[in-house]
Amino acid sequence: MPTGEKPLENLTVASQERQKRRVALVVQYLGDRFHGWQRQPNYRSVQEDLETAIGSALNHSRVITHAAGRTDTGVHAAAQVVHFDAWTCIPASRWMSILNGRLPDDILVRASVPVPDDWHARFSATYRRYRYTLYTHAVPNLFAKSRAWHYYRAPLDETLIQKALEPLIGRHHLAAFHRAGSDRPHSWVDVQEAFCVRNGDFVVIEVQAKGFLYGMMRLLVGLLVQVGSGQRSLESFTELWRSENRDEVKYAAPPQGLCLLRVGYDPNPFPIETWYDAQPLLSLPTQFPQS
């Protein structure tokens, strides 16, 4: 418990009866120092830190959290969605402030709301949306280093990347972008939206789908960069994933450029300002004063 933190008894509400409650959270984290979302022995994970904080508020009771998606090592989240069950008198709305007083400085809770007992962070989701950011200027920038892939070896044409993304909209078998080690029995993906835009020296790729394959976004971006830099034609890119040629997809984009942007629900239980587009877009001036 952090120094000066008050015991849970001072946070309870006398008028509330102790009962089983399901609480949903919007959680942000910086992936740099985590070995991904999922709890695992000998490595730091977001799940373990979050469960430890919840448990400390419940007199060290064991709590299991469930996330909408399992982000990999080094991947960030702007609006990961998590739920947990607890026998407590604490109203759901109080958990945001309670947990932010207990969590390390690379995890933050933006919202906490009550949800029905049959609501599930993973299985109730209608989509996940990821954003990948590339920094294309030749001069390195420390402020972009941990949030973007510094790709400057060749110019990137965002219009070519956009054209490559368009045929992916719809339901497709994307085995070419499915990393080994997944327990998912198939590679079908329902891609709802995909686009690429340039913002000065930053190129942003966003993909929204009902669900994502293990490692899909980083493998996809690695191949899209080949298209945008002229190393691979649009026709070759489309033929590769349609033929499910996993052997040709050899390079994954580095993790620091990837962020779980948000997770969708119908109806959405969270205030829109806590959940929608919570990752700031990186930008730098394109013109400088003459001196």
Q: Residue 267, preceding bond cis, omega within 30 degrees?
A: yes
In one-letter notation, the amino acid at residue 195 is: F
| Residues near 146 by beta carbon (within 8 Å), at least 6 away in sequence | 30, 32, 256
Cβ atoms of 32 and 46 closer than 8 Å: no
Catalytic positions, written as ranges: 72
Rounded Cα gap, residues 167 and 290, in angstroms: 45
Contact 258, 218 (CB under 8 A): yes
* φ and ψ at residue 47, rounded to 5 degrees: -60, -45
Amino acid at 232: R
Q: For residue 52, what are the contacts with CB-CB under 8 A and spacing of at least 6?
A: none
The full DSSP string for 77-90 is EEEEEEEEEEEES-
Q: Do the strands 258-264 and 76-88 form a parallel or antiparallel pair, or are they unpaired?
A: parallel
CA geometry: angle 90, 106, 267, nearest 5 deg: 50
